[in-house]
A and B are shown apart, each in its own frame.
Chain A
């Protein structure tokens, strides 16, 4: 039943003398979502970059859908990258202002030619799926709000049915009410399509809304990992406890230091 999609073991990444990731382990089954939480400098974005193939690990293994991306050669990586999609953080800079939505989505389907006409049906389908309408496809990004743009970015990430989707802080630039809508959308898509996703965020409450599992990163190390409910209700590591206590919305939060 449960097939392992992502299997990261002992991953080390260094930039110069700085060790950014130290012996990171992460397992993700097909169709599940893992939340990666941590603060600035925790290495969560670097982990994402290793998985999309833009940062090379110094040692360790990272197998995604059977491909070991630490050992893979250039050609294998090129094929691999097509199947791992990243949804970027900022909806305002992630869409080219001079291309229509249809052109942007067509490029995801067919990077070389990017013809809209051939994929119009698929694009229309995806726009509806992310809560927009098909007749919007010939509009430009500036005609959309931040939340709508993020829906388009989600469609772009998922339209080719990737084996792994990495969402890097995709709601942190949005207003809270828009954030709630985007999280609902993601939860719905996950449910209906069985997407395998890595959801990176500094916000524990946001992670809880979409993730099945959670990994807590602190200074490049995984300090705690497990099902979200278990980790949140019974945190074992002091840093996890500290993160949970710092959430200002939590009952019992007080400013007495």
Chain B
């Protein structure tokens, strides 16, 4: 089995994960933070202002809501609003301490497990998984029952219950981060293991840990209140929201208003923490809430003239793509046509817009982008506006860069590669499989019938890519779009796949739009080539056969040609 070249996969994967992190503020995060500030201010100020009111015995016990006591009074006549506000401090402090304790111990445990020798590590991971599977509340109750009543005991109990969650996250993140190249390189340089943990592993897990802390705080708040509610927490005369709830519950039938205060406060604070956690998660992954890309018609004079020849398959006029939120242009006014039976190459480096241009044609533009075109027609069908999946599926075939990730490893080839025939084009299952088997035969895959029942891992990289091409061609499309189809392959396999594409194109007359960063590959396969840079076509090369640094005009094309590595050997020497 040939493994695909991982280096190549990196190149076209586009934006690297850690490119310029701009923090994406979102409404949930802002609201949550504002709510937490309100809670914090209350916790600080309330005991100073309402302290006497909350603890001083009043003259009218058991009151319902009144102007003097909006949330009523308890059995000793103390104002419930004041008590709720004053209890903020003790409750929030307890939850904070519990969260801090569980995160510090949990992270230390997680790192410790990761540092441990293999046997011990696996045992540790099992134990952590086991601990995580118990509900935290249950663990907290059991621990509190062992430790006995009191504020400290409750805090410790809740902390213990939450440790496993932190330990598991830390151990998993540490395993993931330590597999990255910067950690393996540091390890090879002889950096001691505890330094690895402090320098590389811990700092790079800050984001997910922060999100977990917000969630754990919310949980701890509820758990501590729960323990206090059942009488394990703060003991009279101390009080927190849990004890207030407990006091109120006994008289819920007579004076229901008294539980409103602690109930609302508890909900408000835990909601605030949850919103901050969700907000942080959304900020860490800003793509998760962007909008779907649209393609709209742009007005204006067409850039293409004399495109009405009857052999023109694709007319693309004025394709423009902009980044949705920033308005940054990614592809600017790109126009071209492809004739029947022609192979058109688009060559360019990362950021040139070559793949985006192809994805506009295939109507597969990613989220958060906006596209427009003056004209986009394939085989007489207008592709701007609403286009049915069936039309796209029958007119366009797609071949991607990495056959290793384009195929689902769990499914046999026959079932996943015939999907487009059965689902989009309505072929019966048996007919679709027959068609696919013939397509496999056409790309020279041995034992085509048998291959239908094989899983992707049973094929080499080159065979997988041939199967992908067969599937893409099985619908007899007007246009085959191949985006870096050989970049992940070895050179000898690349040669086979290029030859295959050439042969399929000659036999079927299907036009091909071939995207590549490699001018050498493009030159070998294509009839015409467009050179793209920074979202624009900088040069159109019509005569590929004589292509050289002398025949091209644009300095960028010359630069690309000069940079493309070519084995420099006089051929005569090799006969």
Contacts and interface: CB of A to CB of B under 8 A. Distances in A.
Which of B18, B204, B494, B571 has the most chain A CB atoms inside 10 A of its CB? B18
B552 to A, nearest CB: 15
Interface string B2-20: 1111111011000011111
B10 A112 contact: no
A93 B499 CA distance: 34
Interface in B143-197: 180-186, 188-192, 195
Nearest to B2: A40
Give the bracket for the number of chain A residues in contact with chain B. Answer: 35 or more
A197 to B, nearest CB: 16
B517 interface: yes
Given A41-B3, A142-B21, A233-B574, A202 B204 contact: no
A241 B191 CA distance: 43
A156 B192 CA distance: 17
Which of A96, A143, A245, A247 has the most chain B CB atoms inside 10 A of its CB? A96
A89 B491 contact: no
B191 A107 contact: yes
B494 A93 contact: no
A251 B546 CA distance: 11
B562 A180 contact: yes
Interface stretch (A7-15, A23-31, A77-85, A187-195): A77-85
A248 B519 CA distance: 9
B455 interface: no
Contacts of B305: none
Contact of A243 (B7, B180, B492): B492
A188 B289 CA distance: 48
B524 A253 contact: yes
Give the bracket for the number of chain B residues in contact with chain A. Answer: 35 or more
Given A179-B563, A179-B565, A108 B517 contact: no
A173 B569 contact: no
Which of B180, B349, B491 has the most chain A CB atoms inside 10 A of its CB? B491
A173 B11 contact: yes
Given A112-B191, A253-B524, A90 B181 contact: yes
Nearest to A98: B203
B350 A175 contact: yes
A102 to B, nearest CB: 13
B250 interface: no
Which of A95, A205, A256 has the most chain B CB atoms inside 10 A of its CB? A205
Given A111-B195, A173-B7, A204-B567, A255 B181 contact: no
A202 B564 CA distance: 15
B490 A203 contact: no
Contacts of B186: 96, 107, 111
Contacts of B520: 247-249, 253
A108 B188 CA distance: 10
Given A143-B20, A251-B571, A39 B564 contact: no
A246 interface: yes
A248 B498 contact: yes
Nearest to A87: B185
A123 to B, nearest CB: 15
Contact of B519 (A156, A176, A179, A206): A176
Given A94-B185, A248-B495, 5 more contacts: A93-B180, A111-B189, A205-B565, A249-B519, A255-B524
25 contacts: A40-B4, A54-B188, A85-B188, A85-B189, A86-B185, A92-B16, A94-B185, A96-B186, A96-B204, A107-B186, A111-B191, A142-B20, A175-B517, A178-B349, A208-B565, A232-B569, A233-B569, A233-B570, A235-B574, A248-B495, A248-B521, A249-B523, A253-B520, A255-B495, A257-B499
